[in-house]
Amino acid sequence: MGLAGGPNPYAYVPNPANWIDPLGLSGFFTPSIFNAPSGSTHTVYQQAIDWDLPVNTRNGIKTNIDLALEGKSPFVVKNGKYSQINLHHSKQNGLGSLFELSADTHQKYYGTKALHPHLPNAHPINPVNRDQFNIDRDAYWRNRAEAELKIRKPRKCGI
């Protein structure tokens, strides 16, 4: 055998189920860590958001950054129409990863094994606590908007 490269007869067999992407979203999301007010830590798979996108609200036109600073979900434009972003628990696991999914995508795949493997029931071990998650979700959007503002903040030379 020696040190030459080549097949490794001692390696575990890969799991081909990890090779599939049922929603076609590979490369679409960027992982980020969110430390929620509830004490949970989530990996959140974020999508690109146009923070300056104008959105009609009951209180007039606001941008996505305005909405997020209020703890509200921003919007994306899909196929020429506005779709609000849902912060979705992966596989209904209250302690698992979160995905920023457009409402259109969430509705399209609602009830599928990819999004909701336990419907009509909750996750058997870590069900989502909705009251707690509402607080966490608001904080998440505020944090996301504040991070965007920090990126936009002009920097002084040499700092």
Let me know if residue 48 belongs to a domain. Answer: yes
Query: pTM here?
Result: 0.78
Instruction: Yes or no: say if 110 and 39 are a contact pair by the CB < 8 Å rule.
Output: no
Per-residue pLDDT tens over the stretch 134-145: 999 999 999 999
Once rounded to an integer, what is the mean pLDDT over residues 135-156? 92
- Cβ contacts of residue 147 below 8 Å, gap of 6+? none
The DSSP result for 10-47, as a single string, is TSPPP-GGGG--TTS-TTT-EEEEEE-TTS-EEEEEE-
Let me know if residue 2 belongs to a domain. Answer: no
Give the residue numbers spanning the domain of 74: 29-151
Domain count, the chain: 1
Let me know if residue 8 belongs to a domain. Answer: no
Let me know if residue 9 belongs to a domain. Answer: no
